[in-house]
Structure formats: structure tokens, C-alpha cells
A and B are shown apart, each in its own frame.
Chain A
């Protein structure tokens, strides 16, 4: 993030995002919306990964947000705008509770508990007819912006883009705060002890970070349900959680570009190449294994390695 090249790339990216809806066809706007949603999810997932915890149930928190906003708007007629805020609050609050219980344990317990949580959210949605049961809830309303209903790809793009940019910018900024820097020190058991010995409340930091990550994916989950116009348990399966992990691990979990490029490139490719989900999963998983075994830090770590080891040194 501090290299000059990245500094120029940031505004360029914003420019692309602003110009894109005026030049893209509806199909490409659809691809862009899906890419933006996945980038948001992956960036939020990486915030948890950076403090040394792997969430294998983020889809559960996306589902929690989506169902919260859909139930509010469809069952109670509440404004979808409020639904997005309520979704973030609900996912964040539940994550706070689950995190407080499980984050004090070693990483593996957390991964298992969150995995089980994701499956249970889906099981609950499937069990109760009030939540739509196995077939889900249809006719999800989209919000209006000053009288303009966001029912075209063009109009909806702006909603997805604004939420995505807000979340990505939030987590990029978080890294540079004292709070964000403290989170990085909690990555291993020994460094966590060290941080605690100088008075850091490790558990509170970790719980807060997990809650923020889940609030972010919950908000985007609400937007997701409005884009699809329905929710059902199949959308938020375990495969959604693993897709996010795959994007992060292939792109690289550190820095700004790893999760953004991992999610962006793979989602865009996936939308292009595969109509059947199984083939997509197979190809993604094969790429994942190749990356893990050859470059465990992800593809952006390769460029970092190149800069560190091979590029001519510029005296810092």
C-alpha cells in the first residue's frame, strides 16, 4: 500500500468504477456487481485471517444479514435501506457473541465452531416456514433512491459499488490505525502473549475485529438478497464460505491487492467460464492446491518476493 505504484492505482481504480456503468453492457454490469460483492466478502474475511483466525462459516453471517433484511422488508414492510443497517447490526452482534465465546481458544476451535455455525444458520432457515423453508423467500423489494427504484443493472450497480468501496476503504484504513496494528500482533500464540504483557486486551480486540468483519458481510448480504430478488438456504452453502477462502488464499491474504485481485479475477473468470457449479469448484480447488503447495503466501506474495529479492534496491 505504501509503494508509489499502488498509490497511483487506487485513484485509477476509483475512476474505472465511476466510468464503468456508462460504458458497460448489462451483462458486464452483472459481472461487475457480482465481483464487487465477492471482493467485499473476501476483504472482510481477510481482516479476520490477518489476526490468525480462519473463518470457515462467513457465508453464515452473509445469510444472517440477507435473511434479516428480507424478513424485515417482506414480512414487516420495513424500508430496504433500514434492512441493510439492521443486517449489519444483526450479523455484527451475533459475531460478537460467537467471537467472545470462541476467539479465546486456539485457531482450530474457532474455525470448527464458525463452520458449524454457518451450517446451523442454513439449517434454521430451512427448518422454519416463516423463514421460507427450503425454497426460501421470493419477491424481495429493492430500495428507491430519491424516487428512483434501483431495478435496473445500472441503478443497482451504484448501490453495490458504494457499499463495496465503503467496506474495502474501511478495512484498508483500519490497517493503518493503532487498533489495526494491534490486531496484527495477535497473529500467533506467542506474539499474542507478548501483546498482552504490555497491556493489550487481546480478546476484546479479536472479538471487535470479527464483529466488524461480519457486520460488513452482513450489510453486503442484504444488498446481495436485493440483487437476487430472493433468498434461499442453498445460496449461502458451505461452498460460498470456501469460495471466499479460496479467493483470499490464491490472491494472498496480506496487503490491499491480494484479496481484491483474488476475488476480482477469479469471480470474473468464473462468471465467464463455467455454467455448472461443480466444474467451477473443481478448477478453483485445483488452482488453490497448486498455489498453496508452490507459493503458500498467495500470488501477490510472488510480486512482493520479486520486489524484495530481485528488484534493484531503492534506499529507504
Chain B
């Protein structure tokens, strides 16, 4: 493989990885507090993309109106799901895990019924290709990845520079002790789930103009996200960011040299290798 081709795959991998990170980060955040991986997370990503189609394409809303509405809806959904389901099942890991699968199936089947199986496309918002030497990167993907990175930075600030973020880290450390200085665990959990849902929905919003979309896309997203958080270390934000970029690059370079399906298998092998040699992930801690 020529150097140019390799750099091209690298660039696409970094851009894709940045978009994977958005969905995976919410999973990590929710895991840190509830100690559960939220299977419904991929469906928020799917809903973000489908709602862009519904509002921006079908109802012809301007983007500046559509995106905030989508974010607001996903935040509301986050608080609602935390309150009605996660809070009631806290501590019962099996029931909680299966419940998130149930929520995922409900969202997915309702979407199939409402939107149909037809693939949908959202027209490009930004045309053009950026030339970096001989490497070509579509401006739309670059913009989406850049905004994704800004969102990641904002999340960092929330988790490491605000009182709510401090409470999140305290709960992750030790929930019992965190309750003693009167940390409102329920409120913090609600905020974490709402933040995670909003990030996933935004991930879906950004990919809508890049790929064709359908109600099954959430499953693909959740699979990649799981692999990323396992490789990065469950509960670690930095680990998720590093693993997201790494997996994006492995997948893009693998797809170029071995083909797309084989790249899929390669990513899975990376995950299994991580489970064998370093089960706590790149940055995770042993619990």
C-alpha cells in the first residue's frame, strides 16, 4: 500500500473515530454511575439521524431549529428513562441490562413501523473536499469530526470542572461514601443519562448527511461503541477517546487492505485480545 493511500485511510479513520466517540462516551458516562451498559444507547444515535430526516428534510425546518429540538428531546428522554426504569432497577444488574435491551427494542420497532424500511438520505450541508497534500478529506466529515471533538472537550469540562462532574466522579469512586456529603445520586444519574443521550443523538445528527440511514443503524453503532469502551476501559473517558480513534483507524486501514467485512472481524479480534491481555482496557482500573 502506498503512503498516500495509507495517509488517506488514516485521515478517514480519525474522522470516523471521532464520530464513534460521541456515542461511546455516553455509554462510558452511564457505566461509571450505574455500572451498566445501556443497550438503548445506539437507538438514540438512530433517532438523532431519523429526526434530522424528519425535521430538516421532510418538514423542511432550518437546521438551527431542528438540532436544538433534537437535543432537547433526547435530554428529556434521558431524564425520563433514568427516572422510570434505571432508578427502579438500580442494583439488579441482570434486570437492568435486560431492561435497556427492552427499551432498545421498543424504540427500534416503533421506528421501523413509523419510518419504514426504506433507506433514507439527508442532503449534504457542506460541499467540497479539503486537500492536505494528496490526502482528500470531505469537508462535511471534517466539520462533523471537529464539532464532535469540541463536544468531547465540553464534556471533559463538565466532568472535571463542575460540581456535578465532581459528584459523578465521586459516585463512580464509591457510591456509598459519595452519599455521605449529601450527593444527590438520583439527580446526578439523571444528568449523566441525559448528557449521554444528547451526545448519542448528536452523533446520529452528524452522520445523517454522510451515510444513508434506516432504523437498524443503531445496532451497528452500539456494537462499535461496546468494542470501543471495552478497548478503552469501561468507565474511562480518556480511554474511550483514545480507543475510539484507534478503532476508527484500524477499521479504515483494515477496510482498505482487507475489505470492509474483514475489517469488522479485525476490530473484534482487537477487542478479544484486549479482554485476554488487559481486561481493564487501555485506561481502565481494576475493580
Contacts and interface: CB of A to CB of B under 8 A. Distances in A.
Nearest to B260: A127
A255 to B, nearest CB: 16
Nearest to A102: B275
Interface string B225-236: 011001000100
Contact of A281 (B93, B109, B230, B264): B109
Given A120-B265, A286-B106, A293 B275 contact: no
Interface string B202-243: 000000000000000001000100110010001000000000
A292 interface: yes
B55 interface: no
B99 interface: yes
Contact of B102 (A102, A105, A117, A292): A292
Interface in A89-118: 101-102, 105-109, 111-113, 115-117
B107 to A, nearest CB: 9
A113 B271 contact: yes
A123 interface: yes
A106 B281 CA distance: 14
Nearest to A133: B261
B192 interface: no
Given A113-B271, A281-B109, A296-B92, A120 B102 contact: no
Given A245-B98, A289-B106, A119 B261 contact: no
Given A102-B275, A119-B223, A286-B106, A107 B93 contact: yes
A289 B271 contact: no
Contact of A112 (B94, B230, B261): B230
A10 B186 CA distance: 47
- Give the bracket for the number of chain A residues in contact with chain B: 35 or more
A56 interface: yes
Contacts of A126: 261
A301 to B, nearest CB: 12
Nearest to A276: B113
Given A242-B105, A288-B98, A279 B113 contact: yes
B244 to A, nearest CB: 16
A278 B109 contact: yes
A54 interface: yes
Interface in A113-137: 113, 115-117, 119-120, 123-124, 126-127
B105 A115 contact: no
Contacts of A288: 98, 102, 105
Interface string A265-278: 00000000000001
B99 A289 contact: yes
27 contacts: A101-B275, A101-B276, A105-B275, A107-B94, A108-B35, A108-B37, A108-B234, A109-B234, A109-B275, A109-B279, A112-B226, A112-B230, A124-B261, A127-B261, A127-B264, A246-B102, A282-B105, A282-B106, A282-B113, A286-B106, A288-B98, A289-B106, A292-B95, A292-B98, A292-B102, A293-B89, A293-B99
Given A119-B219, A245-B98, A292-B102, 11 more contacts: A109-B279, A112-B37, A113-B275, A126-B261, A127-B259, A278-B109, A279-B109, A282-B113, A285-B102, A289-B102, A296-B95
